[in-house]
């Protein structure tokens, strides 16, 4: 029989008070299910801030009250951030948001889903363009925070145009990467590639050597358009190396990539940004090709550029603010254009001048310095 009496009282262990902290950083609750550039940006920013003497760390909201911190820094534009901002307001804590956003009707139209769903998204885009005062969770979020930290002037212009965010609420913070990529050794990845080629029953011939293959680093999902790259390069004999995991919910797209791939396409799981093997892949490839719908600007592009790797990047987004004429830009639906750009990039040598410029301006230290300037505006 059930009894309401317990044989002994439960012992309660109080949580230890958190260490003194200047900044809590937080992303979406589901972010680490398929981590990408936004999560790398969050961790890289935290590391850079700590290098400047700022006590910054990831926030554990189920343990740590906001009243113990000077600032909350959110990463990514997500509906779940709205109540967090409201909670921070009640606690008297300022909030800054790295928006990591881009708005393009063509990207909405290419999203997987029914014709009705895609038409609804495109209609919403044009409605927002014509009437930026329309209410939405994004508009509410962008106006509720103390400061927005887009990664480019182009992204900042979109926030002002589509959501009427005043210019004084915007502080542009460039994306960054670790300068250690410049010293990467290509041999570890080449050895791994040789092992996979030996085990690949589709492969014809030996594994591609240094500078002989095109690399794509990114999550496997329609927006990244790996399938477009595979189709564009069919018949060329150029090896393609795809590094990344399938995003939950996009397994059908992953399978489509596998079905279209022949023996010249190699798939590798996601490699952590602090794993030397990622830098080795950049150092080993002949070019990096990001052929998605847009990039803002894409951490992989910055990391690869630190090795002087030739770049093929999306025309849409903000990549041109970072790389200018040092990269070739393509439209994601222009398969002949992608093919031509990749073949040309594979013929170009690595450029030490470009690598030096990227290392001078787009490190996590530089990003942290710009971020600290933003904090000082709201502290």
Same domain, 228 and 344: yes
Same domain, 224 and 92: no
Q: Which domain holds residue 87?
A: 23-176+364-378
- How do the residues of the chain divide into helix, strand and coil, expressed in percent and rounded to 5? 45, 10, 40
Residue 6 lies in a domain: no
Query: Residue 17: what pLDDT?
Result: 40
Same domain, 37 and 118: yes
Averaged pLDDT of the chain: 89
Residue 284 lies in a domain: yes
Split at pLDDT 50, 70, 90, the class of 273 is confident
Same domain, 210 and 155: no
Residue 229 lies in a domain: yes
Residue 8 lies in a domain: no
Residue 254 contacts residue 228 (beta carbons within 8 Å):
no
The C-alpha angle 184, 189, 195, rounded to 5 degrees, equals: 165
Query: Residue 206: what pLDDT?
Result: 66
Same domain, 163 and 214: no
CA distance 376 to 205: 58
Same domain, 75 and 221: no
pLDDT in tens, 196-237: 888 776 655 567 888 899 999 999 999 999 999 999 999 999
Same domain, 184 and 172: no
Count Cα neighbours of 229 within 13 Å in the Cβ-side half-sphere.
37
Query: Residue 39: what pLDDT?
Result: 87
pLDDT in tens, 23-49: 999 998 876 666 677 888 999 999 999
pTM of the entire structure?
A: 0.86
Residue 162 contacts residue 129 (beta carbons within 8 Å):
yes
Residue 10 lies in a domain: no
- Strand bridging mode 240-243 / 95-98: unpaired
pLDDT in tens, 159-193: 999 999 999 999 999 999 999 999 999 999 999 99
Same domain, 165 and 200: no
Same domain, 73 and 95: yes
- Residue positions counted in the chain: 379
The percentage of residues in the chain with a pLDDT greater than 90, rounded to a whole number, is 71
Range of weakest confidence among 1-15, 82-96, 316-330, 347-361: 1-15
Residue 43 lies in a domain: yes
Flag whether pLDDT at 141 surpasses 70: yes
Residue 262 lies in a domain: yes
pLDDT in tens, 73-97: 999 999 999 999 999 999 999 999 9
Domain count, the chain: 2
CATH number for 137: 3.40.50.2000
Calculate the dihedral angle through the C-alpha atoms of 166, 171, 174, 180, rounding to the nearest 10 degrees.
Answer: -160
Same domain, 168 and 188: no
Token pair 């240094």 in the structure block, residue: 210
CA distance 278 to 284: 10
Same domain, 224 and 328: yes
Longest dimension (CA), the chain: 80
Residue 11 lies in a domain: no
Same domain, 68 and 132: yes
pLDDT in tens, 187-203: 999 999 998 888 776 65
Calculate the dihedral angle through the C-alpha atoms of 306, 307, 309, 313, rounding to the nearest 10 degrees.
Answer: -20
From the number of C-beta atoms within 10 Å of its C-beta (0-12, 13-18, 19+), residue 218 rates as: buried
């Amino acid at each position: 029989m059930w009894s309401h009496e317990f044989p002994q009282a439960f012992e309660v262990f109080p949580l230890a008070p958190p260490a003194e902290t200047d900044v809590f950083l937080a992303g979406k609750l589901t972010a680490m299910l398929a981590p990408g550039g936004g999560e790398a940006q969050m961790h890289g920013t935290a590391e850079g801030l700590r290098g400047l003497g700022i006590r910054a760390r990831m926030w554990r909201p189920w343990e740590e009250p906001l009243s113990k911190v000077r600032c909350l820094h959110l990463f990514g534009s997500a509906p779940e951030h709205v109540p967090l901002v409201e909670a921070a307001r009640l606690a008297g804590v300022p909030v800054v948001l790295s928006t990591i956003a881009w708005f393009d009707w063509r990207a909405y139209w290419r999203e997987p889903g029914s014709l009705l769903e895609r038409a609804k998204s495109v209609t919403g885009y044009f409605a927002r363009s014509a009437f930026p005062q329309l209410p939405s969770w994004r508009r509410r979020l962008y106006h509720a925070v103390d400061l927005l930290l887009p990664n480019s002037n182009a992204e900042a212009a979109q926030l002002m145009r589509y959501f009427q965010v005043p210019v004084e609420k915007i502080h542009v913070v460039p994306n960054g990467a670790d300068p250690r990529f410049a010293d990467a050794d290509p041999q570890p990845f080449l050895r791994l590639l040789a092992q996979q080629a030996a085990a690949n029953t589709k492969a014809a011939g030996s594994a591609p050597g240094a500078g002989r293959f095109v690399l794509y680093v990114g999550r496997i999902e329609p927006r990244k358009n790996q399938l477009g790259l595979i189709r564009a390069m069919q018949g060329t004999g150029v090896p393609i190396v795809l590094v990344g995991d399938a995003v939950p919910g996009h397994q059908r797209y992953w399978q489509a990539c596998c079905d279209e791939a022949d023996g010249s396409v190699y798939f590798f799981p996601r490699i952590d940004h602090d794993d030397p093997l990622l830098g080795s892949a950049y150092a080993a490839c002949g070019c990096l090709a990001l052929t998605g719908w847009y990039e803002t600007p894409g951490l992989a592009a910055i990391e690869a550029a630190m090795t002087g790797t030739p770049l093929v990047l999306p025309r849409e987004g903000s990549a041109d603010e970072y790389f200018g004429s040092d990269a070739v830009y393509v439209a994601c639906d222009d398969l002949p254009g992608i093919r031509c750009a990749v073949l040309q990039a594979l013929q170009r040598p690595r450029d030490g001048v470009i690598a030096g410029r990227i290392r001078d301006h787009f490190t996590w230290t530089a990003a942290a310095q710009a971020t600290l300037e933003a904090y000082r505006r709201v502290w």
